[in-house]
Structure 1
């Protein structure tokens, strides 16, 4: 189904309006969002995405609507995996909690612009070269293999975009609220905030190398690809704060995403064979192969994600890993004087640490002793308790 320029224009205006609303009503005043605030606005954005999908279903038909929902769910799942890296970046740059929202929103806007360019480049390649499906399929199969590596995600924010940003952008040593520029020694200089925004946005561009081929494996309709990608990014900031503390519990997420990307990669290769024009494959003729339907794609994606999430949440090892990693994060946040200037926020972090310790002690010893760097984490927790005792004694 072709989409008229008027519909494209209205869609873009709506998306820009949502981004402007997010900035002027949530981001301009720096604050650490509560769990309730994050939950409400995450629900609003997911609801908007679902409502839009229903409109596509009604006006564009079941095929187009199914493609949108399959694409949206896949992109949303991949964006959750991206949140792990965002968490590492924000921790590595020691971004104050109340200023993290601005970083995420600007990074998301940058990513949306970059992905839009990728989308139209992908459409141009697909229309000109049918063999590009082989390339997209290979990219997804390789990415699936990367996700299965035990060190996937890593513990440090260290990729080419971040190293380049560090080298090119010379910044001051300290943040000045959420400002991008500050005065230091009488000179106007960049703050680390700009460096972090570039790192988040640049990292998300790298994520597009697997997410854009993934959605092209589900549909080649540029409008569906764009809207599914845009709505998956909308609300990512709120989702970050909602899932913060729960991300570590999804210990099998990488396996689920690997299965989804491998499935879509195989689907792309099959589609490439069906549309084959390469002379060294079947003499340049189309190869009669099984074509995966949109309904089957949607069923596989939802099914794999459901199994992955349930398995992660009910796993004793997952619960232990979550609690221990949260304890480490809360202890580090409390000890980091640059984390936040709000005493109430620091006290909340300490209470979270106490709650996590209580949960850890109630767990089976064999699970909590298996955690990576457990002794270093325990030492950090003891240090946080000592610091809190000093604070109360003042």
Structure 2
């Protein structure tokens, strides 16, 4: 896929323009978005992402289009998983509803910047070291295990990193509007708003470790990796308010994501064997029997997994509600 520097520049400029518009049009004035506002903008951004994928397919071929759609679907699912943690952080820091948009917006921008750095690093590693696929594959299998069997009760707001931050920064117990710092008794203190943003920034870094190796398991094109991530993050703020109540009903999302990460991890390991150059594996020769999983199969597998996890989650929560009502 041949992407010129001008195309890169235009893409990055348009992405920045969208987030600048979001800030001045929706976030600058604190308010709690209505369901209608959140729904309209969610549909707009999802439609824009799908239209962009069709454009890639028409201009560059449907092989690349398939890679984009598989990457976008994976990153969107992982981004929704991010919302669980954002919701937990908002609750832990008791962020007022009207200020949650600002926190989310800053968190999403931080996520995009961090993922951009990881994308550039990943592209450089893949271009020069084919053995990096072994590391990415093993990392994704580990992350899949952690996703499926990790401790869901852990609160990142009270984790080790945040305890270290509190040790070095004087923290106020109360909000001062949406300000990041405040003055109390002549002393400058950081507000809970500042602590929330720091926590979300740290979580964004952790999630970037999950998402970037995952999408590089579906495509080696840095442009597709970047645009799929950018579109997955666009509209995430509106989606938070639109499906906030639904998040708690997606009880099997973690297991679904674990299956997706494990699948991509296996795909990466098979690809690593197929392009192998490590001297202690097969004498440094490519392992020809290792199959390359086609992108159409990856797209179908990821889509089916997300659908099954969603339907199974909603069915379980519905059954639990019925049983609870019958027991009363």
TM-score, scaled relative to structure 2: 0.95
CA distance in 1, matches of 2:249, 2:314: 6
The answer to which structure, 1 or 2, has the higher relative contact order (CA under 8 A, 6+ apart) is 2
Quote the Cα distance in structure 1 between the aligned partners of 2:31 and 2:256: 34
Once the two structures are superposed, residues 162-185 of structure 1 have per-residue CA deviations (whole angstroms, 9 ceiling, x without a partner) of 334333332222111111122322
| Bigger Rg over Cα | 1
Tell me what 1:270 maps to: 270
Instruction: Give distance in 1, aligned partners of 2:327 and 2:17.
Output: 46
Equivalent position of 2:213 in the other structure = 213
Deviation at 1:201, TM superposition (A): 1.6
Match of residue 82 from structure 1: 82
For 1:297, the equivalent position in structure 2 comes to: 298
Structure 2 counterparts to residues 1-394 of structure 1, below 5 A? 1-149=1-149, 151-152=151-152, 154=154, 157-288=157-288, 289-315=290-316, 318-319=317-318, 363-365=322-324
Alpha-carbon contact 1:169-1:195 (below 8 Å) kept: no
Q: CA offset at residue 189 of structure 1?
A: 3.1
Shift, 1:367, TM fit: 8.4
- Report the CA distance shift for 1:124/1:78 in structure 2 as closer, same or farther (over 3 A): same
Q: Distance in 1 between matches of 2:276 and 2:150?
A: 36
Shift of the 156–181 alpha-carbon distance from structure 1 to 2, 3 Å rule, reads closer
Q: What secondary structure sits across from 2:157 in the alignment?
A: coil
Shift of the 275–115 alpha-carbon distance from structure 1 to 2, 3 Å rule, reads: same
TM-score (ref. length: structure 1): 0.79
Contact 2:157–2:199 under 8 Å retained in 1: no
Instruction: Output one character per residue of 1:19-71: Cα deviation in whole Å (capped at 9) or x when no partner.
Output: 01110011111111122221111111111211211211111111111111110
- Residues 188, 121 of structure 1: CA spacing in aligned structure 2 closer, same or farther, 3 A cutoff? same
Deviations, residues 247-300 of structure 1 (Å, cap 9, x unaligned): 111111111111111100000000000010111111110001110111111010
Q: Which residue in the other structure is 1:332 paired with?
A: none
Number of aligned residue pairs? 327
Q: Secondary structure at the match of 2:45?
A: helix
